[in-house]
Amino acid sequence: MNVEGKPTRTIWVAADGLGVDIIDQTRLPHEFAVARLDTLEDAEQAIRDMWVRGAPLIGATAAYGMALAVRADASDRRLDEAYRRLVATRPTAINLRWALDDMLAALRPLPPVMRPAAAYRQAARIADDDVAINAAIGENGLAVIRRLWKERQAAGADRLNLLTHCNAGWLATVDWGTALAPVYKAQLAGIPVHVWVDETRPRNQGASLTARELNWQGVPHTVIVDNAGGHLMQHGLVDLCIVGTDRTTASGDVCNKIGTYLKALAAKDNGVPFYVALPGPTIDWTIDDGIKAIPIEERNPSEVTHLAGRADDGRVTAVQLTPDGSPAINYGFDVTPARLVTGLITERGVCPASRDGLLSLYPERRPDA
């Protein structure tokens, strides 16, 4: 997508062909900064400390992290160590494990001397595939938006109001985004979309990242506090909720940023369609019950007790919200049961959030396939 008019991805190989450049998302929205990763340890830190985040981008960064590791030492021992360290950086997004499995399968059979070049090639393939997958999600989601817009337009509406949670835009992927890809495609198709952006406490990925990228792309949007969505839905001001996911189970349960479940409940109560956009690698075919089986990341409570922002003098600073001595807990994700999801938007099409729905799009996953 575009940053100040310049086509930009979130991760790319540096000009010297060795390092890997990323957008340091901890500096957004106030500063656009590129950080360079040179080692496995750099990649580990970038994922763990959320310089990069969002399920697909975590996967792509881990793939490049593996390439950086084997560039320095292409032995079996280092390959396995890189896998172990990278897979432990964030527990919830399944794309991380998927990308590392893919890298390992490509590199393991090769003699060490061939591994570094192959690792960069494979990581680039994962990144390019992510872009193509998300563009296809955008087209499939556009069909949903187009249908709803026709209905709303016939009822006299002058814009289509979407609500999204967290950041599932291009900053969460290599390019295009998942939940926001259909929004960008709708904008290109001339549909007057407007996005309600949940701020998404505690790290505020909505307020700082989704707003930033919608702003760069010129998509009309309004940032709201996390608690406002239900009120807007009760007053007919949301036509469609669309979110991303960090892990979707084989039966269509959806794990996404904490607070997503409450939006799905409010959507159900108000008859608002609730769609989830996801690439195939986000599906965890090994589990069914998301509430029981998906590990929920717990992050540092300081993300709850403190808030970062730009002060009037222009400096970005953190302030403490809570009284000294009040404990806090910081769950990163929650699970929205499939029964609350209107449909899953994938690169292969849109399906019901159910085992049969997913298998209709991914028939190679049928037990008898």
Indicate whether 283 belongs to the interface with ligand MRU (CB under 6 A). Answer: no
CB of 257 to ligand MRU, least distance (A): 3
Nearer to ligand MRU, 14 or 293 (CB): 293
Nearer to ligand MRU, 56 or 252 (CB): 56
Please, what sign has the CA dihedral across residues 13, 27, 50, 334?
negative
Tokens of 51: 């310089």
What angle, 0 to 180 degrees and rounded to 10, lies between the N-to-C axes of helices 95-107 and 115-154? Answer: 150
Indicate whether 217 belongs to the interface with ligand MRU (CB under 6 A). Answer: no
User: Considering only residues 302-321, where is the footprint of ligand MRU by CB under 6 A?
Assistant: none
State the DSSP H helix or E strand holding residue 13, giving kind and residue range, or none if neither: strand 11-13
Q: Evaluate whether 34 touches 23 at the Cβ level (below 8 Å).
A: yes
Indicate whether 256 belongs to the interface with ligand MRU (CB under 6 A). Answer: yes
Indicate whether 59 belongs to the interface with ligand MRU (CB under 6 A). Answer: no
CB of 289 to ligand MRU, least distance (A): 20
Would you call 16 a catalytic residue per the annotation? no
Q: Give the binding-site size for ligand MRU (rule: CB under 6 A).
A: 17
State the DSSP H helix or E strand holding residue 6, giving kind and residue range, or none if neither: strand 6-7
- Contacting ligand MRU (CB under 6 A), which of 86, 166, 211, 353? 166
Could you give the 3-state DSSP secondary structure of residue 162?
A: strand
Catalytic, out of 246, 253, 284, 334: 246
What phi, psi does 254 have (nearest 5°)?
-125, 120
Q: How many CB atoms lie within 10 A of CB 237?
A: 15
CB of 220 to ligand MRU, least distance (A): 21
What phi, psi does 64 have (nearest 5°)?
-65, -30
CB of 332 to ligand MRU, least distance (A): 6
- Contacting ligand MRU (CB under 6 A), which of 54, 116, 202, 252? 54
Indicate whether 257 belongs to the interface with ligand MRU (CB under 6 A). Answer: yes
CB of 195 to ligand MRU, least distance (A): 14
Indicate whether 29 belongs to the interface with ligand MRU (CB under 6 A). Answer: no
What angle, 0 to 180 degrees and rounded to 10, lies between the N-to-C axes of helices 95-107 and 55-72? Answer: 30
Nearer to ligand MRU, 278 or 358 (CB): 278
Residue among 28, 16, 208 at smallest CA distance from 8: 28
- Contacting ligand MRU (CB under 6 A), which of 23, 133, 160, 172? 172
Residue among 213, 236, 233, 222 at smallest CA distance from 194: 222
Distance CA 285, CA 287 (A): 6
Catalytically annotated residues? 246
- Give contact residues for ligand MRU (rule: CB under 6 A): 53-56, 93, 166, 168, 172-173, 178, 205, 244-246, 256-257, 332
